[in-house]
Every structure is written in structure tokens, then in C-alpha cells.
Amino acid sequence: MAAAPVATQVDPPRGTKLETLMDSPQFRATTIVAVRRKNKAAIAGDGQVTFGEVVLKNKSRKVRRMAGGKVLGGFAGTVADALALFEKFEGHLQAHPDDLRRAAVELAKEWRTDKYLRDLKAVLAVVDKTTLLMISGTGEIIEPDDDILAIGSGAPEALGAARALMKHTNLTAREIAEEALRIAATICIYTNDQITIEEL
């Protein structure tokens, strides 16, 4: 009787890009939660930056104000890439003031088609008092149905917590964003409770 086949792992060829990606530690940063409620908007981000299994920084700031304080943004991914994208996005906000969706569409188009920008690795969350969006480098723009958005390492935990808080409490947008992030920090090892919050 023939022996059952044995599953084996085939290692990538030495020196290949695939091997490098598999062997290299990864930067993980961060968790961002954005919430709109009762004509208020808030965005919160934790401060942890992790490289492989090492925490490099505990108080990194990954949320900011844009468009003269009318728009809030946060990012998950590589810091330098996200800052470059924020700079591009602010240019589109200036070209399309008071139209967050149009600015997001223009950034997504440029991000997807530009030879330099399409290699940038980050995801953006942006919000004003009427609109909440996620923008990705694949050209996707997602507007959540429930005015709650979470991106980054602890996004599933933060999103679940925020939805429960929105449904079962009368907390403000700021309070929901902060508490959801604190809950995520107790579950996700790449998220801490050094929280930065911006509010409209």
C-alpha cells in the first residue's frame, strides 16, 4: 500500500525578493478610529510603532488637522509615505474646498496612476463634519454606513468596540473614538493606549 503524500514547505530561492519579504521584520503602525455623531467628528490614533517584535516608539502622532482645521486625517502604514500622501491630499483640498469626496477621488486617482505614488504604502482615514472616508492606494474610497471607520493593526477590535458603544451608549464621537481605541489596546499587541485625538 502506497504511503500517503507528505506536505512539505518549499522555501523561496535564496536572494529573491520573495525570500527578503518573508525574512524581513515588518513595521506595524498603527490603529486609527474615526467617528461622526450628532454633527461632531473625532479621530483618534494610538502611539505605538513596532518593527518586527520590537516596539520602537510609544508616542508617535498619526492624526492631524488639514484644510485650515476643517478636515481631520489619520494614517496606518509607513510614516514617510503617509506624510507624502497627506501633502498631496492637502493640495487637492485646496483645489476643491468644502468638497472632501472630490478631493479624495482626485487623490485616489493620482495615487493609483502615478509611478511614484503607487509604491507608497499607507491607508488614510479622513473626516469632516459631514463625510467620513477611507482612501487606499488601490484607488478605493470607502464611506462606512454607520459613521465609524477603523484602519491599521487593531482595526477589527476598535471597529467592534466603537459599533457597540455607538449602539448602546450616548457617548460623544470623541468619547467613542477614545474608548474604542483603549479597548483595542488591551487586545492588539501592536496598539497602545498613548492616544492622540482631534475633534471637529
* pLDDT tens-digit readout, 114-172: 777 777 778 899 999 899 999 887 778 999 999 999 999 899 999 999 999 999 999 99
Domain count, the chain: 1
Q: What are phi and psi of 72, to 5 degrees?
A: -110, 145
C-alpha cell at 129: 463634519
In tens, the pLDDT along 30-76 reads: 799 999 999 999 999 998 887 777 888 888 888 999 988 999 999 88
Is residue 30 annotated as a catalytic residue, yes or no? yes
CATH number at residue 155: 3.60.20.10
The whole model's pTM is what?
0.80
Question: Considering the domain boundaries, does residue 105 fall inside one?
Answer: yes
Question: Considering the domain boundaries, does residue 34 fall inside one?
Answer: yes
Instruction: Please state, in angstroms and rounded to a whole number, the distance separating the CA atoms of residues 14 and 188.
Output: 33
7 has pLDDT over 50 = no
Instruction: Please state, in angstroms and rounded to a whole number, the distance separating the CA atoms of residues 110 and 116.
Output: 10
Structural domain span for residue 116: 27-199
C-alpha cell at 62: 498619526
C-alpha cell at 197: 485625538
Q: What is the DSSP string of 133-192?
A: EEE-TTS-EE--TTSEEEEETTHHHHHHHHHHHHHH----HHHHHHHHHHHHHTT-TT--
Q: Which of 30, 31, 50, 196 is catalytic?
A: 30
pLDDT band at 79 (very low <50, low <70, confident <90, very high): confident
Question: Considering the domain boundaries, does residue 52 fall inside one?
Answer: yes
